Amino acid sequence: MSACVIYIKAGEGTRTLNVKLGKLALYQLSYAREQRKQAYGRPKRVSTFTMPTTRLAPSPTGALHLGNARTFLVNWLIARQKGWKIILRIEDLDGPRIKQGAAAQALEDLKWLGIDWDEGPIYQSMRSEKYAAAVRSLIDAGLAYGCVCSRKEVEAASSAPHAEDGSAVYPGVCRGRFASPEQAAVLTGKPVAIRFEAPTGKVAFDDLFAGRQEFDVARDLGDFVIAKADGTAAYQLAVVVDDAEMGITHIVRGDDLLDSTPRQIMLYRALGLADRIPKYCHLPLVVGTDGRRLAKRHGDTRLGYYREQGVEVSRILHLLARWCGIESAAPGICAADLLDSFALDRIPRGPIVFTDSDDSWLRSR
């Protein structure tokens, strides 16, 4: 702990308080001072700048594993270094895939790692009315339409182009077919999802890690679902509504979501929220030796599993630090100990490979 003297003006006199500050508090204090210097040229007693804000957004469709942990740790380190506010949001809209108790377990796992937050948890499942209002506004503006095509039908459509990942791009079968989603339901008797009509042209943005990105969404990604046939908001719509309302200015996530960004930017614009588009930072994924995203096929990599095996959190953090390009992490570290040595540009540019040796090292005594 470090000591800091704070001067407090009281009436005609001034008194001092000797306050012991932890490393996190020192980072936040120094960040506030730097912001005041930039805004006014010298320190001021009151700061009026808007605090940058990020979010940690676990989905309770499964337990947090080492790959999730690396991404959350990077997000947390950047935020605490720079003085960002952190909001914890539970993205629990995918009802059939939600695992009972997974949300509570995610909170415990984050706390175990030493990752904290300033607000939340906020549950998406409690915000359905906000998503429905956004969907309706897009329908009323002629920017979204009802679709009765099943996923199987889209995949089977001979006219459907395919994205780079092999998934079918929606061929626009229902675009302009019905006057309204309600009419689509009456005329076909089928469940009706809502798709956003992707405008022609390219969407470009500068990613803080991946660099300049450019997508032709209409050609390469197509019209995409913003509300499922059961009325549940789709991921792309829900995160835009939430991030805009919560004042999210920076998003740190895995690069498997890189092609979600142009979709979300288009939704920001369509909803009249272009001035709230955040800055994005997409990180390489942690993969197995087969090059595929870390999953059950690579064994049990859940944080909860390693806790049950008696693995100390410092050992997990040591591995995560190495994956962040920090080779000199000392034994017995905590998350806050990485603040001094972490830098975004030290993270390896390619996927992180989790090996059997990594697993053996974690479980060794």
Give me the pLDDT at residue 159, please: 57
Least confident of 124-128, 205-209, 359-363: 359-363
Least confident of 167-176, 202-211, 229-238: 167-176
Task: Identify the helix (H) or strand (E) that includes residue 122.
Answer: strand 119-123
Instruction: Write the pLDDT tens digit of every residue in 82-138.
Output: 999 999 999 999 888 899 999 999 999 999 999 999 999 999 999 999 999 999 999
Tell me which of 3.30.1360.30, 2.40.10.120, 3.40.50.720, 3.40.50.620 is the CATH number of domain 128-283.
3.40.50.620
Give me the pLDDT at residue 331, please: 81
Residue 76 binned pLDDT confidence (cut-offs 50, 70, 90): very high
Instruction: Write the pLDDT tens digit of every residue in 132-147.
Output: 999 999 999 999 999 9
CB contact set of 177 (below 8 Å; sequence gap of 6+): 145, 184
Does the CA dihedral 134-136-140-143 come out positive or negative? positive
Q: How far apart are CA 134 and CA 101, in angstroms?
A: 30
Q: How far apart are CA 77 and CA 27, in angstroms?
A: 11
CB contact set of 143 (below 8 Å; sequence gap of 6+): 196, 197, 270
User: Where along the chain do its domains lie?
Assistant: 1-46, 53-126+286-363, 128-283
Name which of 259, 260, 177 is nearest 226 in CA terms.
Answer: 260
159 or 223: which carries more pLDDT confidence? 223
Highest mean pLDDT among 35-49, 286-300, 312-326: 312-326
**Can the peptide bond before residue 348 be classed as cis, meaning omega within 30 degrees of 0?**
no
- Token code pair at residue 341: 């040595």
Mean per-residue pLDDT, 298-319: 94
What is the rounded radius of gyration, in angstroms, for the C-alpha atoms of the chain? 23
Reply yes or no on whether the pLDDT at 173 is more than 70. Answer: yes
Mean per-residue pLDDT, 347-355: 95
Q: How far apart are CA 249 and CA 275, in angstroms?
A: 10
CB contact set of 222 (below 8 Å; sequence gap of 6+): 161, 169, 170, 171, 172, 198
Give me the pLDDT at residue 96, please: 85
Q: What angle do CA 245, 249, 255 make, to 5 degrees?
A: 110
Mean per-residue pLDDT, 141-156: 92
Mean per-residue pLDDT, 37-63: 66
- Token code pair at residue 255: 């690069």
22 or 261: which carries more pLDDT confidence? 261
- CB-based contact 227:147 (threshold 8 Å): no
Mean per-residue pLDDT, 66-72: 97
128: Cα separation from own chain's centroid: 19
Instruction: Write the pLDDT tens digit of every residue in 182-197.
Output: 999 999 999 999 999 9
Reply yes or no on whether the pLDDT at 338 is more than 60. Answer: yes
CATH number of 53-126+286-363: 3.40.50.620
10 or 327: which carries more pLDDT confidence? 327
- CB-based contact 105:63 (threshold 8 Å): yes
- CB-based contact 169:222 (threshold 8 Å): yes
Q: Check residue 166 and give left, alpha or beta (phi > 0: left; psi -120 to 50: alpha).
A: left
Give me the pLDDT at residue 166, please: 53
Report the percent of the chain where pLDDT is more than 90. 73
Mean pLDDT of the residues in the chain: 86
Domain 53-126+286-363 identical in fold to domain 128-283: yes
Number of CB atoms found within 10 A of residue 205's CB: 16
pTM: 0.84
